[in-house]
Amino acid sequence: MSTRAPDRPLVLAHRGASDEYAEHTLAAYLAALEAGADGLECDVRLTADGHLVCVHDRNLRRTASTRGLVSTMDLADLDQLDFSSWKHPWAELDDERPDQVEEHGRVLTLRKLFEVVADLDRRVEIAVETKHPTRYGGLVERRVAELLRDFGWDRPGGPVRVMSFSYTALQRMERLAPDVQLVQLIEHIPYWPVLRRVVGRDWLLGPGVKLLHESRRLGESITRAGHDMHVWTVNTPDDLRVCQELGVRAVITDRPAYLLDLLEQQAGADG
Ligand code: G3P
Ligand code: CA
């Protein structure tokens, strides 16, 4: 694997290598690691029996093809579901598709994802997004903080940063684990003038790449205010270009292998 040029953005895999693999499955994360991703992004929700699981949507319709809410089910029940087939409904008809490991398509706990990363022989960042609103409110951050402590990752320099669109959730996280890096996500440009007055000085900002396409000035203003950026979801050469022009620290992408390849080509062209 090539070494990273110091000025190139970190490439974080959004829900794993989710362009190709079912999002948030172990298969998607293993593929991202195999591609050499610098980090992994995941959304987390609490089950009814208090486990943090990597699932984006509140309900199970899209990714497990069934009714029900993550928050009202126990982990053991979620573990019966198939979180993979929706992505490749015709997989069984495809003779050339490599065999899938069944467990790699089941619900993934945040603890398991942390274990996978802790076992690696290189540093891999994890961007954990807590989803709000949720019926469990601040319990989500409490559980994330406990898990971070279990891994010793609540200390300065740990590989995890916690992200949220909810400023309140991040304030909570800061109280629970003051040394963990935080990322305030932004989905609308007008939120920035409000947020800039309240976010912590050392917080990162996470605008969607669409916002940066719409308003380069937004990115410049965030940088001028002294915040590094984690930008999502950066999937095309155009997206990457705008991020590089603005000196973004990390790009969060569904296509880690493709982006790493683009960056490698650039490095080759630069000599
Ligand atoms: O990385 C931040 C990004 O994931 C936020 O949007 O909907 O994909 O969680 P969403
Ligand atoms: Ca997310």
Q: Distances from the Cα of 68 to the Cαs of 25, 83, 109, 167, in angstroms? A: 19, 14, 18, 28
Cα separation, 65 vs 89, in Å, equals 11
Sorted by where each begins, the domain ranges of the chain are 10-270
pTM of the model as a whole: 0.95
Q: Which residues are placed with Cβ below 5 angstroms of ligand 2, an ion? A: 43, 129
Question: Which residue has the CA at smallest separation from atom 5 of ligand 1?
Answer: 232
Active site residues: 14, 56
- β-partners of residue 208 are 232
Average pLDDT, consecutive stretches of 10 residues, N- to C-terminus, the chain (271 residues): 74 98 97 98 98 98 96 98 90 75 92 98 98 96 98 98 98 98 98 97 98 98 98 98 98 98 92 71
Residue having the nearest C-alpha atom to atom 7 of ligand 1: 56
**Is the four-CA dihedral 222, 250, 147, 56 of positive or negative sign?**
positive
Ligand 1 pocket: which residues have CB below 6 Å? Answer: 14, 41, 43, 56, 129, 185, 206, 232, 252
Provide the b/e sequence for 102-128 (b: ≥16 CB within 10 Å). eebbbbbbbebbbebbeeeeeebbbbb
Which residues, in sequence order, are CB contacts of 203 under 8 Å at separation 6+?
Answer: 170, 181, 182, 183, 184, 227
Q: What is the pLDDT of residue 3?
A: 62
186 CB-side CA count, 13 A: 25
The predicted-structure confidence for 179-233, as pLDDT tens digits, reads as follows 999 999 999 999 999 999 999 999 999 999 999 999 999 999 999 999 999 999 9
**Residue 227 pLDDT:** 98
DSSP H or E segment with residue 216: helix 216-224
Superfamily of domain 10-270: Phosphatidylinositol (PI) phosphodiesterase (3.20.20.190)
pLDDT at 96: 76
Give the per-residue pLDDT at 269.
87
Beta bridge partners of 53: 45, 109
* Residue 233 preceded by cis peptide, ω within 30: yes
- Predicted confidence at residue 2, as pLDDT, reads 53
